[in-house]
Structure 1
Amino acid sequence: MGNKSSKKLSKDDIRFLVENTNFSKNEIKQWYVGFMRDCPDGQLTKKKFVEVYSEIFPSGDPNKFCNHVFRSFDHDGSGKIDFKEFLMAINITSAGNARQKLDWAFKMYDIDGNGTIDRSEMMEIIGSIYHMLSEGQQTEELDTPEARTEKIFEKMDVNKDNVLTKDEFINGCLNDECLYQMLTAEQNWQENE
């Protein structure tokens, strides 16, 4: 997906996005205009992605977190996100249901892509989130990434094998509002089920 660059959105692309997102044809066209304004070559680079996050979190350092989010959006591993990848990601993170958001979050936390999340992967993502947030944005005193990881594994690692499967991760989040909100940055937990 990431290598294709065109100035006009094809009818096939529009049809695909209408069928696979919650956006209407007109909304897709509006998103496309904005995407092309910001990324005239039709490709969102990691550098531009970090710039956007830096505007949202001006007091923190979003670089590490952006690398993980970008990796989870760049489905073909091209190092760039094309419009279809971008809109599919926006759809999941903004309009997806709880399971879709958790499925995406699991992929982000599963850094090595082996189908499980180990403690080091969880600590890496949590640490990158803490690094991104400035002290002014933190609403409560945060545990260390290690302490937060231990709490998460205590609640989620049902079979105590020191890794979280996708089922353990999703079920753990669906059964614990606090974990769901923390791991997906979602505020409307019950409305998304």
Structure 2
Amino acid sequence: MGNSKSSALSKEILEELKMNTKYTEEELFTWYQSFLKECPSGRITKEQFEGIYASFFPDANSTDYARHVFRSFDTNADGTLDFKEYIVALHLTSSGKTTRKLEWAFSLYDVDGNGTISKNEIQEIVKAIFNMIPAEGQEDLPDDENTPEKRADKIWNYFGKEDNDKIKEGEFIQGVLDNKDILRLMQYDEPQKIQDKLKEKRQ
């Protein structure tokens, strides 16, 4: 057991997380204890994050997607997430308020971090999402979105862009708010599966 100082969650971080996520104080403390058990340094590496993500999706190849999720939350680009970044990542990928979630989705798709999204970046993330969909699930997809290329084209066409155009953040958020179908195409969303897994981990 560490001393109480190392296992205590600072009041500021606790308040901030309570405000910005749906987790209660009790849940956050439980999360923090299990976080410290898995990551005694108080920071989680990309590999550890990929491992945790893989446990949420045992039947899928989640490595590429987890790598992009990690990048989008590693705000200071130091190759690790602290507890706060980790909890916000879990919260936003499994629920989260729409605008915050869309800001995050934009940063997920902005692979090179230059403030705009290109068609190639959409293809890269959509490919990572496809790796998460089991083969039988892919067979059930409509003809115009049953490959990463078709799905990326469909998303791009919703925004009415030429192949070499770029999408800015405000335009991205507005486009998704105006057309809920875009969000469905752009995310791999199995919130129930994640929620159940999170409950298990907390017990």
Q: Same fold (TM over 0.5)?
A: yes
Please list every run of 5 or more consecutive structure 2 residues that lacks an aligned counterpart in the other structure. 1-5, 192-203
Asked if the contact 1:14–1:25 (Cα under 8 Å) also holds between the matched residues in 2, the reply is: yes
Asked if the contact 2:54–2:61 (Cα under 8 Å) also holds between the matched residues in 1, the reply is: yes
Which deviates more from structure 2 when the two are superposed, residues 152-161 or residues 122-131? Answer: 152-161
Deviation at 1:126, TM superposition (A): 0.4
Aligned residue in 1 for 2:99: 99
Aligned residue in 2 for 1:145: 148
Which deviates more from structure 2 when the two are superposed, residues 49-58 or residues 18-27? Answer: 18-27
Aligned residue in 1 for 2:200: none
Deviation at 1:116, TM superposition (A): 1.1
Asked if the contact 2:155–2:186 (Cα under 8 Å) also holds between the matched residues in 1, the reply is: no
Deviations 1:81-108 (A, max 9, x none): 1101112223333342111111101100
Asked if the contact 2:53–2:66 (Cα under 8 Å) also holds between the matched residues in 1, the reply is: yes
- Structure 2: how far apart are the matches of 1:56 and 1:139? 22
1:130 and 1:36, CA in 2 relative to 1: closer, same or farther beyond 3 A? Answer: same
Please list every run of 5 or more consecutive structure 1 residues that lacks an aligned counterpart in the other structure. 1-5, 189-193
Deviations 1:123-148 (A, max 9, x none): 00001111232214446235322221
Q: Runs of at least 4 residues of structure 1 off by over 4 A?
A: 158-161
Deviation at 1:35, TM superposition (A): 1.6
Deviation at 1:60, TM superposition (A): 3.0
Asked if the contact 1:57–1:133 (Cα under 8 Å) also holds between the matched residues in 2, the reply is: no
1:139 and 1:24, CA in 2 relative to 1: closer, same or farther beyond 3 A? Answer: farther
Which deviates more from structure 2 when the two are superposed, residues 72-81 or residues 40-49? Answer: 40-49
Aligned residue in 1 for 2:181: 178
- Structure 2: how far apart are the matches of 1:54 and 1:68? 13
- Structure 2: how far apart are the matches of 1:109 and 1:46? 18
3-state DSSP of counterpart to 1:61: coil
- Structure 2: how far apart are the matches of 1:174 and 1:140? 26
Supply the AA of the counterpart residue of 2:17: L
Aligned residue in 2 for 1:131: 131
1:133 and 1:82, CA in 2 relative to 1: closer, same or farther beyond 3 A? Answer: same
- Structure 2: how far apart are the matches of 1:133 and 1:100? 25
Which deviates more from structure 2 when the two are superposed, residues 42-51 or residues 19-28? Answer: 19-28
Supply the AA of the counterpart residue of 2:107: K
Is 2:168 the partner of 1:165? yes
1:61 and 1:154, CA in 2 relative to 1: closer, same or farther beyond 3 A? Answer: same
3-state DSSP of counterpart to 1:28: helix
Aligned residue in 1 for 2:122: 122
Map 1:67-106 → 2, pairs under 5 A: 67-106=67-106
3-state DSSP of counterpart to 1:132: coil
Identity of aligned pairs, percent?
Answer: 36
Deviations 1:43-79 (A, max 9, x none): 2111111112222333432221111000011111111
Let me know the Cα RMSD of the aligned residues.
Answer: 2.5
